[in-house]
Structures are given as C-alpha cells and as structure tokens.
Amino acid sequence: MEGRGVAPPAPGVTLTRRGWTLAGAAAGLVLGSRVLGAGPLAGLGIGAALLLGVGVVWVRARRPALRMTRSVRPARLHVGTEGRIVLEGVTTTATPLLTLTDRIDDGKRAARFLVPPGDADETIRAVYRIPTRRRGRHLVGPLVGSITDPFGVVRRTFPITEPNDVVICPRVHAVVPPARGGGGEPAAHAEGARAPALEPLGEFLALRDYEPGDDPRRVHWRMSARRGELLVRQDEAASPGRVVLVLDTRSHVHDEASFESAVEIVASLAVALRRAHAPLEAVTTKGEVLGRPGPGMVELLLERLAVVSTGDPDYLTRVVAGLRDRLGIGAVVGATGYLDDEFADALALLRPRCLVTAIATGSSSDARALIPVVDASTDFPAAWNRFASRSSRRWNLVSSRSL
C-alpha cells in the first residue's frame, strides 16, 4: 500500500487530529463556563481533559517491541523494472494494533501498514512497490511504528529500523559487445587480432629454438631429432585488448534525455562485455574512473552510473591523452549527446592504436567525424547491433550512418 506526500509522525507522544479537536473543545468549555458562569460546561471540559490524560497513560503503558529487516527485490533495480521493498520481522512482546510507516525519498512518499494485535513471536511481513522511473540513490526509511489509544486521541510513535539507500541503476539494453583490436594478453577462446602465445593455447604457428625456461612438454621431439637440436612448438591465439568506455559529461552537448541515453549506453555495453568475459574500463570526461577490471567491477560501475551527472570540470583532452599512453587497449567507445568537433577529434587521436567508435544520442551534427559514428538518437539497440555486426567484418569501412 503506497501513499503520496505522507510523512510519519515525529517520535514521542502526540495528539491525533481527533485529540487536538477534543483538547480545543475542552479548553473552550472551560473558558465558556467562566464567561457564562455555567458550571456544567466546566465539568464537560474537565472530563474531556481527563479523557486525554487516560489516553496518554494508555499509550505510555504499552511498550511493543519488534525486530524488522528491510530488503529490496530484486537485489539490483534498474530503471523501468518492477521493484519491491520487503519488510519482514517478528514481535518480541505482545502488541496492540500497530501502524507501520516507511518513508521514501525523504518523506515525499510513504508506505503505511496496519498490524493487528497479537502475541509475542508472531511474524510480520509487508511488501510495497518502489518507483523506478528515474535512476539515482533513494533514501528509504526510517521505519517507524505507532500505537493509538482506544479513543483515538493520543498516539505514540517509536523508531524500528534505520534508513537504507536503494540504488536505481540505469536501464540496460540487450546489445552485442564491441569488437576489440589487439594489444591484450592471448586468450584461448577470445576473438580478434592474433599474436604469438607463450602458453599452450590457440593454434599452431611455428617451431622455434628451445630457450631456457620453456616447458619441456612443448618440445617437438620428431623435428628436434631431425635437426639435432631442441625445437619448441609456438602457438598463436587471439589477443584482444580491453575496451574503454568514455562517457561524455560535458553539459553543453547534452539535454536531459540525451544524457540519460548516454548513461544507458555505457551500462548496456558494460553488461554485454561482462557476458563476453572481456575486460573493460569506464571513465568520464570529468576524469572520474567509473570502473576498472576486477571482481564485481560491473556492479560497482552500475552503481556509479546511477548517480553520475553532467557538469564541470572538462578533462576530455587529458583523459584522451592518458589513453594514448596506455598499453593493452583494444577499443574505445565514446558515448556523447550532440557530437561536436572537440569530442570527435579527441577520439580520432586514438584511432591508430585501437578501434574507436562514437555513439551520439543527440540530434545529428556536422562534426568532422573522422571515426565511425553510431546515430543512437532514436533506437540505440537496433542501431548499435547493426553497426557491430558489420564492423566485426570490416571495421574501418562501415558505419551505421553516412560520415
């Protein structure tokens, strides 16, 4: 059950709306009895005040205790998916009728539940939906409980759980991973540019002279016997480098929609590369490192993408210069909004060393595009998948739009 604009009452003992009405009536009756000289009115006012006092004593005497936990289902939420908050717990004492209120987004929303009276050790479970219309970090909680006296005039509230952060990650589209050039470590099941491998993997390349430290199992004994000296089998394997995703955070090339699309592009390509077991990095033009290869890298990247924003500083030139000096990079994919000459020229400087692509989520432009450009202003998954399928065969000659 979800409400809008409902804030939980402040902790402590307070009067309900009915209680404030009764208190005002009691004060009016007592004051009216003084003005009119009518004793019975004062008796009614005192009776109303006593009723309030009884309510205060009643709620103070009740000390319900609960152990509650809050969890998110599924554990990782993305924009547009259905997310739920699950409250689970158990009562440790006998409880009267309880109201549980869980805040969302600093009290802009709240979920409220009624828990019937019960004994100790009874389980409590409540579920409500959390909005996933926009990415970001949302504060959920604290969860507070409240009890009201039988007359409904006095309420006592108490905290139950601390607030938690719930991260809504960007939307992830089903796309194929980017193609990668060479420069990395040889891998047995990878695709891409091939290079000699020191380990026994890949396909046969040639025979070479034995060197100290070579694995004796790699010795080709038949050819060694013919030549009279040890020869070792040399294999070759694909050695694609890592992919670097560059998110353009310069505010003058984006509107709100184009930046959200650019963030979704980086998230989608990162997930696709993880499925392909390909190493990747992600940086912004602010110089922020969103992720580097390591355990749980993509999960951390998605959480950082959830809160990334446009704005200063602009370190595009410095970021690209750092990539030019790096080894082991096989491809660079830049996600921008309105493609301008500065972004296109900066990425073009990397082209002699690796495969470079720009993805524009804004309207088309007349930038000097010296690199392949994917027009993702309308349908990114379709445009990218078409481009990737063609570029895997002839990367330098095919683009998803006329350059």
Q: Is residue 186 part of a domain?
A: no
Q: Is residue 185 part of a domain?
A: no
Q: Which residue has the higher pLDDT, 340 or 326?
A: 340
Q: Provide the number of structural domains found in the chain.
A: 4
The rounded distance, in Å, linking the Cα atoms of 271 and 264 is 11
Q: Is residue 188 part of a domain?
A: no
Give the least confident one: 2-6, 21-25, 96-100, 151-155: 2-6
288 and 338 in one domain?
Answer: yes
Angle of the 380-394 helix axis to the 256-275 helix axis, nearest 10:
50
pLDDT of 259: 92
pLDDT of 200: 53
331 and 207 in one domain?
Answer: no
* Last residue of one domain, picked from the residues 134, 169, 204: 169
pLDDT for 112-166, tens place per residue?
Answer: 888 888 888 888 898 988 888 889 888 888 888 898 988 888 899 888 888 888 8
Q: State which residues form the domain around 205.
A: 194-238
Q: Is residue 298 part of a domain?
A: yes
Is residue 5 very low, low, confident or very high in pLDDT (cuts 50, 70, 90)? very low
71 and 44 in one domain?
Answer: no
341 and 200 in one domain?
Answer: no
Transcribe 210-225 into DSSP letters. --TT--GGGB-HHHHH
Q: Which residue has the tokens 């310069």?
A: 250
What residues form DSSP beta bridges with 90?
67, 123
Angle of the 17-36 helix axis to the 39-61 helix axis, nearest 10:
150
Q: Is residue 179 part of a domain?
A: no
156 and 7 in one domain?
Answer: yes
Report yes or no on whether pTM surpasses 0.75: no
127 and 25 in one domain?
Answer: no
Mean local confidence (pLDDT), 5-13: 56
254 and 386 in one domain?
Answer: yes
What residues have CB less than 8 Å from 313, skipping those under 6 apart? 286, 287
Q: Work out the mean pLDDT of the chain and round it to a whole number.
A: 80
The rounded distance, in Å, linking the Cα atoms of 42 and 40 is 5
CATH number at residue 263: 3.40.50.410
78 and 54 in one domain?
Answer: no
113 and 72 in one domain?
Answer: yes
Transcribe 361-397 into DSSP letters. -S--------S-EEE-SS-HHHHHHHHHHHHHHHGGG
DSSP tag of 252: G
Q: Is residue 180 part of a domain?
A: no
Q: Which residue has the tokens 């991260």?
A: 167
374 and 277 in one domain?
Answer: yes
371 and 316 in one domain?
Answer: yes
Mean local confidence (pLDDT), 359-376: 76
372 and 283 in one domain?
Answer: yes
Angle, vertex CA 325, rays to CA 322 and CA 330, nearest 5: 95
Is residue 186 very low, low, confident or very high in pLDDT (cuts 50, 70, 90)? very low
